[in-house]
Structure 1
Amino acid sequence: MESQTFASVFDALCDTPAEAANMRLRADLMMHIADTVRENGWTQKQAAEHCGLTQPRINDLLNGKIDKFSLDALVNINAELGQCISLSFAPA
């Protein structure tokens, strides 16, 4: 059996490089939001209010349910938190 090596878990899970890149960005944004919630010591209810979400929705985010959040939604949540998002580009 031949083994394969992947640059990231998303490269292994996704069908295309574009889909993997989208998943990586969503994961990074979700981790940043979760870190912000933890650093501020917010309850899920407080976090939901700060993020402009419902408590069940913030629960999904904090539990890493990446399939429930689009890139647009995560950018908007970061904006609600007063965060500025910076992108950098590099060859694939």
Structure 2
Amino acid sequence: MAETKIDTEIRHVTLPGSNLFLEVGFPPDEAELLHTDSQQRIKVALLLKEQLMGELSDWIAEQHLKQAEAAAILKINRPRVSDLVNKKANKFTLDALVNMLARIGKPVRLIVG
């Protein structure tokens, strides 16, 4: 059987802060609107994550837990607790943070509007 070759060549790199929508071919006006909207959504998600991470970090401190103890309760590994305490928001999904809060008896309520 012939071996299938997978194409892994990098043909383009989008620089951080660039408008991806412009690069993929949207008209400039629309690309700017989409870029601005996406940046705002990212900002809101990061703020939510940071708030949830703050609750978890506070709980760990209040309980005087070592990272390994917190990891066992939260069902994550110890390095992830470090990421949590250091508020590395890009390493967690909102779902994961909500689930961790539920595990410690702090259910999250979402209010829209």
Q: Sort the TM-score into its range (normalised by shorter chain).
A: 0.7 to 0.9
Report matched runs for 1:21-40 at 5 Å.
Answer: 21-40=44-63
Report matched runs for 1:8-27 at 5 Å.
Answer: 16-27=39-50
Structure 1 unmatched ranges of 5 or more: 1-13
* Aligned equivalent of 2:98: 75
After TM superposition, give the deviation of residue 71 of structure 1 in Å.
Answer: 0.7
Higher CA-based Rg: 2
Distance 2:75 2:44 in 1: 26
Structure 2 unmatched ranges of 5 or more: 1-36
Distance 2:49 2:100 in 1: 12
* Aligned equivalent of 1:63: 86
Number of residue pairs matched by the alignment: 77
After TM superposition, give the deviation of residue 82 of structure 1 in Å.
Answer: 1.7
* Aligned equivalent of 1:88: 111
Structure 2-normalised TM-score? 0.63
Distance 2:53 2:100 in 1: 9
After TM superposition, give the deviation of residue 72 of structure 1 in Å.
Answer: 0.9
Distance 1:78 1:84 in 2: 6
After TM superposition, give the deviation of residue 80 of structure 1 in Å.
Answer: 1.4
* Aligned equivalent of 1:6: none
